[in-house]
Structure 1
Amino acid sequence: MTDALNNKNTNPDYQPSANGHIQDQLVKDSIVHKQHISAQAQARQSPVLDTSSNTATDSSHSAEFTQVQDLPTGTPQGQQTTIPNSSTNTSAPAQPNTQTAKQTAFNQRDDINNPHTSDTDGAEETHFGYKTINKAEKQARVADVFTSVAKKYDIMNDLMSFGIHRLWKRYAISLSGVRAGQHVLDIAGGTGDLAKVFSREVGRSGHVVLSDINAAMLEVGRERLINAGCNNVDFVLANAETLAPFDDESFDLLTISFGLRNVTDKDAALRAMYRVLKPGGRLLILEFSKPVFEPLSKAYDLYSFTALPIMGKLVANDSESYKYLAESIRMHPDQQTLKQMMEQAGFENCDYHNLTAGIVAVHRGFKA
């Protein structure tokens, strides 16, 4: 495992530790410079005219993520970044004013296509970590968490897992069977670790869609992949429970990495994944699971509920979000239960592979 972590030839994100502080400063300088250039470019653009009110609106809200109806067949469109049409959600509230925005507990744009409302679910409850809340509230609360941690998400992953998350993801990719020319959907893909590799593997004739429900996370992934030259990737805001923007049987491969445990209705999400997968396609779920070695389980609990919130406070200035993340891992179905859920959704030949003694597992299923 140590050799694998130190193998810079097979790990594209490898960085020598000796010069880490110098590289960190260079990266920070590059980001600041890019933001400065972007701000100058945006300032030169003419404002978008809202014809219904004859008032100018902020162009930054109209040119960020890809409209699914604009996704061409077999043509890379990675540089096309327009926000999904808000008119598809007729129940969405108007853009709040400043006073209202301060009272709102979450970013309204992250609360897209929420299938759970007081009308549809009534007082039905679910869990948010160890807390019990109404189903209609969970999506917004999860949005709060990931909006808060988005900018520090990658560095916290490295710190929390001691870099081992890269090995977990590499193993999941090895099970994907991805080939040139295929269409891949990375659900809840966040900062784009898997999508970046898939972009290279599918090549010019293939296509990758990086989707996430959270705009802040998706923006981090968009900047990262575009800067890496991944011009066969699109970025789409989508709810994993419905995958509403995508047509039936659209993708050869679906992946969801450390995202399923945050979904309100996991069964609905699995059914949506089955719907958009082509016959013969496969689903890969990389997720925290139940350790199979009891002494390790106790040590893991101690680490999760003490060290993680402390690191979250020091690095991301947010201990509560990392307390939730630790709790959400414990509330996630174990290996056998998740396998059964996949089979109930229609997937065949389902199996799972424990990694690091079951702290993480890769589940795999196929559509006949």
Structure 2
Amino acid sequence: MDLSDPPVTALYFDGRSSRARPVMLSVADGKLVTCGEDVERRDALAVLRLSEPLGHAPRLVTFPDGAHCEVSDDAAFRRMLARSGQRDAPVVRWQFSRTAVAVSLAVLVACLVLAHEWLLPRLARQVAERVPAELATRVSDETLAMLDANVFGPSQLPVARQQALSARLATLKQADMPTVRPQLLFRQGRPMGANALALPSGLIVVTDELVALARNDEEILGVLAHEMGHVSQRHGLRLAIESSAVGLFAAWYIGDVSALLAGVPAALSQARYSRGFEREADDFAARLLVLNGIPVGRLADILERMDGPPEPLEGGSRTGSEHSRSPFAYFATHPLTAERIHRLRAAP
């Protein structure tokens, strides 16, 4: 640098006292020249430690003997260093580059999307598979108690009818498939309407409205087979666990899932299954129905009516799309029902 170039003002601290001395900084022959009251020194740029710029905070120049300078005009100081051939570290330069900032943001967004779409579901599956049966039962009981208090009403379905449906479900063959032994419970759906839902322990709650909506028992078995698919793949636990990413990583790393599962009942009562989960449950149901000689179209038929215009029932009550407007959307119309119906009707 030419010494005629304007120097940069700074405050000099000798490292032994708190006294600040005004000095002028310049660069000559690869050295930082510091001149001021009782101060005159030349130090090679290579031995100096420069702090990173932090907003409007002074830039610090630390000398080998512990002394340092505070430079307020960082822009002028950087220009002076640049003209001498001295450059900040790449990470410091990138902070002042719009292109580098934009690329960094794009990489950050890509990493977040990758973590959400790929890493989080896989960790949730690993954690869900570690959940002991007794914990799954506890979570299911707590969820059912919450729903009984806020959503469901006592079933008005005759006990004989309930027993007949439970017996029919128990006769389904599950050869060459993950065995699921569901237990049926019957409730009035109220805002939930015509539907069934699976809890992590294998409990499947069937609403009176679903039984009334079905034109035959094979349609009900189709819905129950779908819910058995959710149980088989532990979708409820996986979905609830994914909703608590911090707790998920702790549970996966430490191996203790009990604290994480404390919030599962509330998560289950508000969540909705993803497209992937619904497809897995539909595929499970299709295999189970075919194995038992039941047309896969039975499930598509009742899904179509559940997702279509409401149908009147005895006493003037209605089922179908009415429940899709309730706050309990998780138990109402499943996502992309039209796509699911198309896939089921195309199944062999």
Q: Which TM-score tier does this pair reach, normalised by the shorter chain?
A: under 0.3
Q: TM-score, normalised by structure 2?
A: 0.26
State the structure with bigger RCO (CA 8 A, min sep 6), 1 or 2.
1
Higher helix proportion, which one? Answer: 2
Q: TM-score, normalised by structure 1?
A: 0.25
